[in-house]
């Protein structure tokens, strides 16, 4: 599990999201509320879609709206795929496959975001276990 997880508050600006994604070389980061509960995900794709819509409106000389000052929570994907920190590896693998995703967020019993786990993390652990068995 990756515990040094970057997250962004839903009230953050899109510029802040862009800075985190680009400086940390990430494709997406979880979005949390003020209490640390995951409420969605903001991705490079979300930012590009918003930028495209903004530029299309500008090209058509449409008056810009409140969307121009959009916050992360306005354009994020409001789905959170998460498992509990206490879930075993078999459950995590099943969830990864069922949801057709490569990463899941990890939350504690109070639904506070504490990390992320990927298929690669599980493969690394399995490989380490295999090498240790010889």
Q: Is residue 3 part of a domain?
A: no
pLDDT for 85 equals 94
- For the segment 29-53, the average pLDDT, to the nearest whole number, is 90
Instruction: Please choose, from the candidates 111, 117, 127, 95, the residue with its C-alpha nearest in 3D space to the C-alpha of residue 3.
Output: 117
Instruction: Please choose, from the candidates 71, 57, 78, 66, the residue with its C-alpha nearest in 3D space to the C-alpha of residue 18.
Output: 71
Q: Is residue 102 part of a domain?
A: yes
The parent domain of residue 115 ranges over: 8-132
Query: How many domains is the chain partitioned into structurally?
Result: 1
**pLDDT digits 0-9 by tens, 43-82:** 999 999 988 887 777 777 766 655 457 899 999 999 889 9
Tell whether the torsion through CA atoms of 22, 24, 29 and 35 is positive or negative. Answer: negative
> Of 32-41, 55-64, 66-75, 115-124, which gets the smallest average pLDDT?
55-64
Q: Is residue 65 part of a domain?
A: yes
- For the segment 9-25, the average pLDDT, to the nearest whole number, is 93
CATH number of the domain where residue 123 is located:
3.10.580.10
């Amino acid at each position: 599990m990756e515990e040094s997880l970057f997250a962004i508050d839903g009230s953050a600006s899109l510029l802040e999201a862009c800075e985190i994604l680009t400086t940390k070389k990430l494709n997406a980061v979880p979005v949390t509320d003020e209490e640390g509960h995951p409420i969605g995900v903001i991705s490079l794709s979300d930012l590009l879609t918003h930028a495209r819509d903004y530029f299309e409106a500008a090209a058509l000389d449409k008056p810009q709206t409140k969307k121009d000052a959009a916050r992360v929570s306005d354009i994020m994907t409001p789905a959170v795929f998460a498992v509990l920190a206490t879930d075993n590896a078999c459950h995590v693998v099943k969830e990864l496959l069922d949801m057709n995703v490569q990463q899941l967020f990890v939350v504690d019993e109070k639904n506070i975001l504490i990390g992320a786990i990927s298929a690669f993390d599980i493969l690394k652990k399995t490989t380490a276990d295999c090498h240790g068995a010889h």
